[in-house]
Structure 1
Amino acid sequence: MSAFLKSVGERIRSIRKAQDLTQETLAEKAGLHYSYIGGVERGDRNISLETLEKIIDALGVLPVEVFQFDYADTEQEQVDKKQLVKALNSLLLSRNVQEVKLVHRLAKDILATIDEQRVQ
């Protein structure tokens, strides 16, 4: 098992769990067998790009997200992040469109500043 396959598999597992998907559900969405998904997540399978594309499409993420190993969260961090996003969503649902656009613009500016600081 290569370290790269293991990293990709762990990242797929992390994304799947963050979406509250079972291996069976992901496999069904990707047109694969659930045991195959398990093998991918463990890094036991040397999957083709075509199969990786099916998994990425089934997860509904950008391909780059599967390769963001430096930012891969622990399972608990994924759960915490998901709860915070839900809380933020609840706050925004009661607001009008202009207010939501303002919060969105502010969030983008804040995140751009954080990203710039990371690069420096």
Structure 2
Amino acid sequence: MQKLLKHVSERIRFYRKAANLTQEELSELLNIDRSYIGKIERGEVNASLDTIERIALALKVDPFELFHKQSKGTNKDKRDFIEKINIILTNQKIEELKMLYDVIRTVQLYKNIK
């Protein structure tokens, strides 16, 4: 059980930082004590599923993502960047997403020309 607790706590910290939130800001969103968020992220307390779900919703990720374990052989850094980008994209309007898509396609096309 300790491995799961450590894994979930690391995922919560990862998504909080990716969302550019401090522990204090997250605790305010959840209306819980900041020190409790710290204990959760350090794996010192076993948060309830209800609390984990509330954290996930505040971080705008699917609660299952907090339990998701990357399979061996994947590029962790690449996956982390994709997850960070996904968090940013979640908050964008459709027009902004279309513009960002065009930028990505342009970069990809330019890269293929070189």
Q: Are 1:93 and 2:102 counterparts?
A: no
Which residue of the partner structure matches residue 58 of structure 2? 58
Give the Cα separation in 1 of the matches to 2:10 and 2:100: 37
Structure 1 residues 32 and 78: alpha-carbon distance in aligned structure 2, compared to 1, 3 A threshold: farther
Per-residue Cα deviation, 1:27-64 (whole angstroms, up to 9, x for no partner): 11112111111111111111111111211111111111
Give the Cα separation in 2 of the matches to 1:19 and 1:73: 18
Which residue of the partner structure matches residue 68 of structure 1? 68
8 A Cα contact 1:16 1:22, kept in partner: yes
Which residue of the partner structure matches residue 46 of structure 1? 46
Deviation at 1:90, TM superposition (A): 7.4
Q: How many residue pairs end up in the alignment?
A: 93
- Percent identity over the alignment? 42
Give the unaligned 5+ runs of structure 1. Answer: 104-120
Per-residue Cα deviation, 1:6-27 (whole angstroms, up to 9, x for no partner): 1100000001111111111111
Which residue of the partner structure matches residue 113 of structure 1? none
Give the Cα separation in 2 of the matches to 1:14 and 1:92: 27
8 A Cα contact 1:30 1:57, kept in partner: no
Which residue of the partner structure matches residue 37 of structure 2? 37
Per-residue Cα deviation, 1:62-105 (whole angstroms, up to 9, x for no partner): 1111111217955xx449x54xx78xx9794288xxx7xxx7xx
Give the unaligned 5+ runs of structure 2. Answer: 90-94, 106-114
TM-score by length of 2: 0.63
Give the Cα separation in 1 of the matches to 2:27 and 2:40: 11
TM-score by length of 1: 0.60
